[in-house]
Amino acid sequence: MNSQNYFLTDRLSKICIITLIFIPKIDLIPIANFWQGIRYEDILISCFVIYFFLLKKNNTTIKLNNFQYKNFYYFFLYLFFSNIVGILSGLDVQIVSIIRLIEYIFFLFLIDCIKINKLIVLSLLKYFLLINLFVGILQIFDLIGSISSLGYKDASSAINQRVLGITGGSWELSILCSLSYLFIFQNEKSKLQITIFFIITSFLVIVSESKTQTAAFIILKAILLIKNGNLLLLIIIVLAAILSILNIEINIFIKLKEIDLSYLYELTYNVIFQNKLPRADEIKDQFVHLSYWYRLRLWQYLANEYTTNIFTIFFGTGFTRIYVESLWIRVLFSSGFIGLLYILYLVRNMNIIYIIYFSIAGLTLDLFVSLKIFLFTLIIVKKNFYEK
């Protein structure tokens, strides 16, 4: 394969990566009965599909053994089989999600074909954090609203009770900033800049007010420091985090301080083994635990679908829901027990830091439903950066 024919041009590569990182979620063409329509990234991927087939028409063969995202590719192919199992089992598989799956497959090849220098990506992710810091501060003071799949919402909208930055949700902001910081930590040589962007990322994660993502970022930072042998700095950061949670009265710290893990375990146990879930108005301390109750209610319904027959248990139900609020639930219920084993096999050689972070961040969030989170993930594991 001629690598020069495989990669996009320098200019196209920069346009693609800048567009995908920075442009907010804006629906260009609405789709009836869906709150999310066709966006710029869908059009960009469609254009790439045309380019992709033109490549093959010109006898340029893309070999999977040189394709760096082939494990994603193989698992996505398996998911088509899971969806067939779901359809044959009489379940309401979401066709739009299957179309999205096809789009994600071509997205893998798009990011693989992008020809860009690692230092440029490093700069772009720094600008991403800085822009979100600026926009986030304006949102804190109710000076501007946010842009998401729901369109522009002014500062008074309920969705803007948390900081979104230029992302589609507060949960998305915290994860994208964490992944950006991870890339900066691994590739930036200046300790001063690493420290500055750690402070910026910490601020953005805190104001996004996601309990699970805040914990995931703290654990991520701890692992990075342990790996580098910075135990003294780790102790200082852990003590600062504990003191902040105990003494600073802001929403996310209040939630972390008041969360009752034994109560959450009790709720989960009753749903799994007794198929019982209390009413929403019976939930203890709703400010802290109600969001988990909503997730349990969804998972309870998905579990009933999952146990439809022996085939759905082994091979999954496919995409019966667009959002399932957990990466683990998505893998198990959508792809089945065999799919869970398969994905564990595929990630066996992945950097353990990525595995730990995504395992924690994905406990209560269906991570890769977000194309931006998927994009940032592909960026941080990308191997064929242009080195000139």
**Structural domain that includes position 37:** 3-66+114-256+367-380
pLDDT digits (tens, 9 = 90+) for 340-375: 999 999 999 999 999 999 999 999 999 999 999 999
Residue 347 lies in a domain: no
Residues near 47 by beta carbon (within 8 Å), at least 6 away in sequence: none
pLDDT at 274: 86
The alpha-carbon radius of gyration of the chain (Å, integer) is: 21
Contact 132, 167 (CB under 8 A): yes
pLDDT, residue 140, reads 93
Spans in the chain with pLDDT lower than 50: 1-2, 59
The DSSP result for 244-294, as a single string, is HHHH---HHHHHHHH--HHHHHHHHHHHHHH-----GGG-SSHHHHHHHHH
360 within some domain = no
Any domain includes 204: yes
> How many folded domains does the chain comprise?
1
pLDDT at 84: 97
The rounded distance, in Å, linking the Cα atoms of 113 and 45 is 12
Interatomic CA distance for residues 329 and 301, integer angstroms: 12
**CA–CA gap between residue 232 and residue 51 (Å, rounded):** 52
Instruction: Assess if residue 302 is contained within a domain.
Output: no
Has residue 104 been placed in a domain? no
29 in helix, strand or coil? strand
Q: What is the model's pLDDT at position 181?
A: 97
Whole-number pLDDT of residue 321: 92
Q: Would 374 be classed as within a structural domain? A: yes
* pLDDT tens by residue, 148-189: 777 788 988 888 889 999 998 999 999 999 999 999 999 999
pLDDT at 127: 98
In a domain, 337, yes or no: no
What's the pTM? 0.92
Query: Is-contact 361 175, C-beta < 8 A?
Result: yes
pLDDT digits (tens, 9 = 90+) for 222-232: 999 998 888 88
On whether residue 57 sits in a domain, the answer given is yes
- In the chain, DSSP assigns E strands to 27-29, 38-39, 146-148, 151-153
Q: Is 147 helix (H, G, I), strand (E, B) or coil?
A: strand
